[in-house]
Amino acid sequence: MCFIMLFSGFTSADTAKVSVVASTCYVYEDASFGSPISINGEKIVLTHGDKLEVVEDDNGLDFIKVKLDGIENGGYVYRYYVTYNEIGQEVYPVFNGYILKNNSKIYDLDKQETTFTANEGHEIYLYNGYNNKEEYNAVAIVLEDGSLFYGYMLTADIAPYGVNAGLITGIVVIASCLTIIFLLLFMKKTKRQ
C-alpha cells in the first residue's frame, strides 16, 4: 500500500498528533473493522479536520491507537483516514483509476451507501489494487468539497489505468500467429532447397 509513505514522518508516538483527512472516521476498540466503539448505541464518528493524540503506531499495521476524551483505553483509527501532516498540507494520492459511468455510488468502509456520487472520468486511487472478481474495490476519491474520502465503489463502476488485459491477450495471440506463419514459411523455403 503506497500510503504508508504519507505517515512515516513521525517515529515517536509520544507527542505525535494526527488529523482526520476522511469525511468520516470511525473509532474502533481493537485494530479491526469488526469492533466499532459505541456510546449509548451510537458509533463514535470523527470528521475531517479532527486532531488526535497518537498513543501507539506500529507502521506495519493498518490502525493507529489514539487517545480519546471519555474513553479510558483510547481507540483505534484506520491509518489511511488520518495524516501526520497538518490539514493545510493534506497529501493526495497519485490516481490510478477512474469512474466509468455517471452517478456512480460511493460507499463507506462498512460498504454502506453514502450520499456521495461520482461521474464518468472522475479519477480515483485504488488503494488495495483492482480486483475484478470482487463486488467492491477500496478507493480514495476527492469529493466536490475537495476533501479526500476513503471507501468502496462497485467494481462495475470503476476501472484501473493501464493496459487492458484483453489487449495483452490479443497481442500475445497475434504474436503467436505471426510466429507460426513465419515458421511455416521458413520450413517451406528450406524444403525447396
153 and 191 inside one domain = no
Nearest-10 Cα torsion for 109, 113, 118, 124: 20
Last-in-domain residue among 71, 89, 107: 89
24 and 83 inside one domain = yes
109 and 188 inside one domain = no
30 and 76 inside one domain = yes
109 and 80 inside one domain = no
Over the chain, what is the mean pLDDT? Answer: 80
103 pLDDT more than 90: yes
Provide the domain limits for residue 182. Answer: 166-193
104 and 49 inside one domain = no
5 pLDDT more than 60: no
pLDDT of residue 164: 63
Among 105, 11, 92, smallest CA distance to 54 is for: 11
* Number of domains the chain is built from: 3
Average pLDDT over residues 147-171: 82
72 and 12 inside one domain = yes
36 pLDDT more than 50: yes
Pairwise pLDDT comparison (153 vs 149), residue with the higher score: 153
Least-confidence region, from 31-45, 112-126, 133-147, 163-177? 163-177
Provide the pLDDT confidence category of residue 154 given band limits of 50, 70 and 90.
very high
Q: What is the distance between the alpha carbons of residues 4 and 9, in angstroms, rounded to a whole number?
A: 10
- CATH code at 66? 2.30.30.40
11 and 80 inside one domain = yes
Per the CB < 8 A criterion, the answer to whether 6 and 85 are in contact is: yes
